[in-house]
Amino acid sequence: MLALICGQGRLPAIVAAAHAEAPFVCALAGFEPDGLAPDLVFQIETLGTLLQTLKDKGVEQVCFAGAIRRPPVDPSRIDAATWPLVPALQAAIVGGDDAALRAVIGIFETAGFEVVGAHEAAPDLLPPPGVITRRQPDERDRKDAARGAAVLATMSSADLGQACVVLAGQILTVEGSYGTDWMLQSLQARPDAEKGGGVLCKAPKTDQDRRADLPTIGPETVQALVQAGLTGLVLEAGGVMVLDMPAVVEACDAADLMLWIRRVDEE
């Protein structure tokens, strides 16, 4: 049996729909998913009790899906089953994003669960390589895509974000702790806003555990690109999930945007 450990957004519902057998849906309090009713809402302070509940339900696999922020922990609310996990939880809270995810995955694996990625539970979320829009990359786009891939690899070593924007070889902005949407909104105030241009490059961190926090885009991302004045979107093949691919392609074509699912070895 599969359990979904959910955060916000549409991803949990998409993963749930990909299974013939309904998964057991667990949502972190305050970060309930869109379009999917949780079977159980839990808090970080009761994580140990959640693990026991999953065992009692016969759960063998867990999948993390959806967005969360690190919630504050109230020591007075930690239950008896969770106290043994406190050292691992502290490591997750104070570490960088990748270290935090590894710590949380480790807690579930130590408890005996197999952790699977959302892209493994719903393989259609990963589009095949290629340019899947009417607009095709020109020579500058190809150089900018390569430049973006190199920058993202450098960002990985510092456990930074998973996206950057490149125009004519110049880095316009990189993703930080506020995420891709905030980064794109900041570009609306760029000095060359009337001229526009640039491609958003997105890829997972080089050494991250891909079972959690794999980058995701959807139709809303395309609209944010349009508002930021960008002309293309380059996603690492096999490394970025796409929600509602038909709607994404339709929105890109309507806005004359390029969508390139680029292999890591591609020029």
pTM for the model stands at: 0.87
Query: Residue 127 corresponds to which tokens in the numbers above?
Result: 């589009």
pLDDT in tens, 234-260: 999 999 999 999 999 999 999 999 999
pLDDT-derived band at 64 (thresholds 50, 70, 90) equals very high
Q: Any alpha helices (H) in the chain, and if so which ranges?
A: 11-17, 47-56, 86-94, 97-110, 118-121, 139-157, 179-186, 219-228, 245-254
Q: What is the pLDDT of residue 194?
A: 76
Residue 101 has pLDDT above 80, yes or no: no
Q: Which domains does the chain have, with CATH numbers?
A: 2-121 (3.40.50.20), 126-262 (3.40.140.80)
Res. 97 pLDDT band, cuts 50 70 90: low
Q: Where are the alpha helices (DSSP H) in 122-212?
A: 139-157, 179-186
- Higher local confidence (pLDDT), 8 or 158: 8
pLDDT in tens, 202-229: 999 887 888 887 899 999 999 999 999 9
| Digit-coded pLDDT (tens) for 4-39 | 999 999 999 999 998 878 999 999 988 999 999 999
Cα(73)–Cα(71) distance, integer angstroms: 6
Question: Where does residue 21 rank: exposed (0-12), middle (13-18), buried (19+ CB within 10 A)?
Answer: exposed
Question: How many angstroms separate the CA atoms of 54 and 74, rounded?
Answer: 23
| 208, 104 contact by CB (below 8 A) | no
Share the mean pLDDT of the chain: 90
- Cβ contacts of residue 239 below 8 Å, gap of 6+? 203, 204, 210, 214, 215
96 pLDDT tier (thresholds 50, 70, 90): low
Reference 245, options 120, 164, 148, 133; nearest CA is 133
Tell me which residue of 79, 12, 67 sits closest to 39, measured CA to CA.
12
CA angle 94/119/59 to nearest 5° reads 75
Which residues 6+ apart lie within 8 Å of 138 measured at CB? none
Q: How far apart are CA 188 and CA 205, in angstroms?
A: 26
Predicted pLDDT at 235: 97
